[in-house]
Copies of this chain bind each other. A is one copy, B any other.
Amino acid sequence: MSLQRNEQELIQQVLKIFSAKLETGGFRKTPERFAILEEIYKRTDHFDAEALYIHMKNRSYRVSRATVYNTLELLVNCDLVKKHQFGRNLAQYEKSYGYKQHDHVICAHCGKVVEFCDPRVQQIKDMVGELLNFKISHHSLNLYGVCGSCQKEMEFGIVRQLPKVEVDEPGWGD
């Protein structure tokens, strides 16, 4: 597998893969779908459907929520995007192409998400699949706890009602 030289190159590659998948699946290649995929791969890390919708709006794309959800589902099926449920009923997504498989640690205090990777997870999947006669296709492992800085905050008795919200900055880098 060759490493990407830069972001643009990765995006081009992903667009091509998506295009091929749409073709073989008998789906149409609409500009909205490619635009959404491109914006996802320009972003970093985790976001939810609404944040992506707002992001597209900020970038002056004319898309609807329905299309965002529809496209996200297509991308998940193509393995170009991963979908997560970190507790609360809010699906979180992240680009996944070219990334090695990883799992997540979530801070229950500030909502921060950190990734980690442990080969034992694969071992568990293999063993349990064999043992229970399941054909395992994917998994989700989330560790919940309190991150270092929040541990300090809590020593001072600071209580946060809700996780810090990440807002989409309108108009960066245009």
Contact = CB atoms under 8 A, between A and B. Distances in A.
Given A85-B85, A134-B148, A143 B129 contact: yes
A145 interface: yes
Contact of A124 (B107, B121, B138): B121
Contacts of A145: 129, 134-138
Contacts of A85: 85, 87, 89
Copies in the complex: 2
Contacts of A131: 116
Interface residues of A, number: 37
29 contacts: A85-B85, A105-B128, A105-B129, A105-B132, A105-B134, A107-B134, A108-B137, A114-B134, A116-B132, A125-B143, A128-B143, A129-B143, A129-B145, A132-B147, A133-B151, A134-B143, A134-B147, A134-B148, A135-B145, A136-B143, A136-B144, A137-B145, A138-B143, A138-B144, A139-B141, A139-B143, A139-B144, A140-B141, A141-B142
Interface of A: 85, 87, 89, 91, 105, 107-108, 114, 116, 118, 120-121, 123-125, 127-129, 131-148, 151
